[in-house]
A and B are shown apart, each in its own frame.
Chain A
């Protein structure tokens, strides 16, 4: 598995930008709830898309600690390494 935090973060940004409602200027340090105006359900639904792309499941309790896109990327990389 060759994913790095940077590559996963780039992939998340790309996935998010496919949604026209998401601000155009997001990057790895954008805050998911504050900067993207996602509610908890929207966060869970978008994480599901990323999970499919990267073939990983992110347990809901891990989401509680995630603020930025890079946090999510780091969490996914650590889950992939553990599996």
Chain B
């Protein structure tokens, strides 16, 4: 028996997705980015509407310059973990910059956002503690819960009353209760009602961790995310985030006012047992952070673009997520239809993400798009037009 035989179901699901000569949607190659909004795919210039590069900063000239300079000055890698030889002056500087940006006293930088969730959640919630996770949590949050030893309880998505009920059931049990929510949910772009969760947290004495991966640089007057936008930053004990979205690079972090965070450096396996970020990434991230701080107009443009795309897709008769946010997903019913739709969009020059169950809420396939501050109104209108063409070719609209 082959070691891979357990994946026969997966192999046949992939064949079904590629039936009739379709592409492998999980193996698209962007041969070369031409700008933040256009990439070369299959030799053609393609509009990028699925990158998480919300502010377009992956192509920031200032960040590129900073990376080049840092590589020249410090080399291209650290060859070690944060707790051994992998902490350089730049890592400390970035942690201080993030403390200042978030107005929090402590910060840990991780090598990816995935590891930031893994490393904080698994270390914060110990054996006798309880972790309360939103049902639609990102894989990195679920994986963090599996790496740790806490008891894990799911509550209904974005439902603070349901969380309250579950916390009430734990009344009188010893152990800390750590609640984990996301700022903007990555599949449908819906925003957490952070005020409601903050109120439950206050009332029950639970701890609150917010993964603001998709909302930092996007929401809040200064771009600090949903906690800032809702005026409840004091109630959020830990903010986890990533550099791989609005900041355009790679890496993750956790910020907090709790002094104990520094102890986590000595017990968080995803922090301790992997090499630290290379100097050029740190330098580029700091340059991107400066742009994020100095150009609030990027956030205004991003939200204008999000509303334009969300309204355009709805006007084209397509079913979308509930809110205009930088993640705008078209919700379909049938996987085969979603796959054909996605292929046709790429034929016509628009790249979006195809998200399939079980990675999506409610078993619906999604055409997940993400918007950028750097998209022009014309690019958005063009993408909407192509969505409308494909929808009508395929006989799909909400009215139908």
Interface residues of A (CB under 8 A from B): 39-42, 44-45, 48, 55-61, 83
Contacts and interface: CB of A to CB of B under 8 A. Distances in A.
A48 B153 contact: no
Contact of B153 (A40, A42, A59): A59
Contact of A48 (B135, B145, B151, B357): B135
A40 B166 contact: no
Interface string B123-157: 00000001000010000000001000001111010
A57 B153 contact: yes
B169 interface: yes
B170 interface: yes
B153 A60 contact: yes
7 contacts: A41-B358, A44-B135, A45-B135, A48-B156, A59-B152, A60-B152, A60-B153
Contacts of B145: 60
Given A42-B358, A59-B153, A60-B154, 8 more contacts: A41-B357, A44-B154, A45-B135, A48-B135, A58-B153, A59-B152, A60-B153, A83-B169
Contacts of B358: 39-42
Interface string B157-181: 0000000001001100000000000
Given A41-B358, A48-B135, A56 B154 contact: no
Nearest to B362: A45
B75 to A, nearest CB: 43
Q: Which of A41, A45, A58, A83 has the most CB of B within 10 A?
A: A41
A56 B169 CA distance: 7
Interface of B: 130, 135, 145, 151-154, 156, 166, 169-170, 357-358
A82 B204 CA distance: 21
Contacts of A45: 135
Nearest to A44: B154
B154 A61 contact: no
A39 B9 CA distance: 12
Contact of A57 (B135, B170, B357): B170
A26 to B, nearest CB: 20
Nearest to A55: B169
A40 B154 CA distance: 13
Nearest first, the 8 A-B pairs at minimum CB distance are A59-B151, A60-B152, A41-B358, A57-B153, A57-B166, A57-B169, A39-B358, A59-B152
Nearest to A79: B169
Contacts of B152: 59-61
A44 B157 CA distance: 13
Contacts of A61: 151-152
A39 B363 CA distance: 11
Contacts of B169: 55-57, 83
Contacts of A58: 153
A56 to B, nearest CB: 7
A59 B166 CA distance: 11
Q: Which one of A39, A57, A61 has the highest number of Cβ atoms from chain B below 10 Å of its Cβ?
A: A57
Contacts of A57: 153, 166, 169-170
Contacts of A55: 169
Contacts of A59: 130, 151-153
A35 to B, nearest CB: 17
Nearest to B360: A41
Contacts of A41: 357-358
Nearest to A47: B154
Nearest to B358: A41
Nearest to A39: B358
A39 B13 CA distance: 14
A58 to B, nearest CB: 8
B3 to A, nearest CB: 21
Contacts of B151: 59, 61
A83 B170 CA distance: 8
A56 B151 CA distance: 14
A7 B252 CA distance: 48
Contacts of B130: 59
B164 to A, nearest CB: 12
Nearest to B170: A57
A53 B135 CA distance: 18
A15 B166 CA distance: 20
